[in-house]
Amino acid sequence: MGMFLIRTLFLLVCAAVGFLVLPGGIEGLLTGVFFALAVLAIELKLHSIPANVLMGGVVGAFMGLMLALAVGIVGRQLALHATAEAVIQGVAVLVLAYLGMVIGALKGEKGEWWIPWRRWAGLGREGVPSDKVLDTSVLIDGRVAEICDTGFLEGRLVVPQFVLQELQQVADSSDSLKRARGRRGLDIVQRLQQHAEMEVEIDGHDFPGISEVDDKLIALTLKREGVLVTNDFNLAKVAQVRGVKVLNVNELANAVKPAFLPGELMSVYIVKEGKEPGQGVGYLDDGTMVVVDSARQDRGSTVDLVVTSVLQTSAGKMIFGRKPEPDGPPGPRHEAAAVTG
């Protein structure tokens, strides 16, 4: 409401100045109104330009004007005709100011204006945690909130506006499962915003020439020189090919799972039959699948087993084991908790 009143007042002042100062009365009034509308249109357009691009353009234009001033000083020393001197000065102002603005905006978009200053001031990127750009899958997954609670993730968390729009579309789905997943993602964003030790930024920058959300995520991460946080295996691989640093939540989860060695003893609750005859299948608390030979008849109960091998796959670990021999020597027991039904 405040901005609306300010813009309305500006429009009225321009109309009054045009009516009182410019000749023609009504024509002057209309000229003032058109001038005010043009200025307001430019002002509204500037809101969609990122601050770093806008500041880079201003700095570049200022430097271009300074160069044009130097050209004018040199022109006056050449004793040129007044008309020629005015033409040279005018062309220099237009060309150099334009080039400075364009180059400055491009430099500002890449952040190259500010890196030397930040380093001089002792705020170089070497000591500043990179921005963490969150994708849709990692927000729906939700484990990023627990990672933040533990303090292992530092730096600014960036949630792109186009990711929020995708979450909203999922939350508005007619499918109940998709709707629940979308709402969970939005709840995780709200939870991160309320985190006392994390800074969360909603980035409104969009890429009109890019249609796919994954490609937009990669472009935004490159633009911010940040790190992409995801649990999408394919997106992570494509991002790495394009030179983007990736934090994969699934890889983190696999890395912190307890290590199992052949010969160790453990217990697991058998929940279903395995693919091979006689096999029983259970799961640990972290979701690791445990396949036990000769445990098919133990479905619905907890059994002890000896680890025989561990298979690492792209989806995680699989543990294979067998029941211990009744009269065999006891091996080292693993203290990892198991699902007990």
For the entire predicted model, the pTM comes to: 0.52
Res. 23 pLDDT band, cuts 50 70 90 = confident
Which position has the higher pLDDT, 170 or 259? 170
Q: 93 near 65, Cβ under 8 Å?
A: yes
> How far apart are the C-alpha atoms of 258 and 334, rounded to whole Å?
9
- When pLDDT is cut at 50, 70 and 90, the band that residue 337 belongs to is very low
Confidence of residue 123 (pLDDT cuts 50, 70, 90): very low
Q: Name residue 312's beta-bridge partners.
A: 317
pLDDT tens per residue, range 215-267: 999 999 998 888 999 999 899 999 999 889 999 988 888 777 777 888 888 89
Q: Percent of the chain having pLDDT more than 90?
A: 28
How far apart CA 193 and CA 207 sit, in angstroms, is 25
Domains of the chain by start residue, with CATH:
2-114 (no CATH), 129-255 (3.40.50.1010), 258-341 (2.40.50.140)
Average pLDDT over residues 72-97: 75
- Please tell me the predicted confidence (pLDDT) of residue 263: 86
Residue range 55-67: mean pLDDT, rounded:
82
Confidence label for 77 from pLDDT (cuts 50, 70 and 90)? confident
- Confidence (pLDDT) at 1: 56
89 vs 78: CA distance, rounded Å: 13
Sheet holding 200-203, edge to edge: 200-203, 157-160, 132-134, 227-230, 245-248
Mean pLDDT over the full length of the chain: 81
Higher-scoring residue by pLDDT: 165, 60: 165
Percent of the chain whose predicted confidence (pLDDT) is above 70: 84
- Looking at residue 109, its pLDDT comes to 61
Q: Is the pLDDT of residue 186 over 90?
A: yes
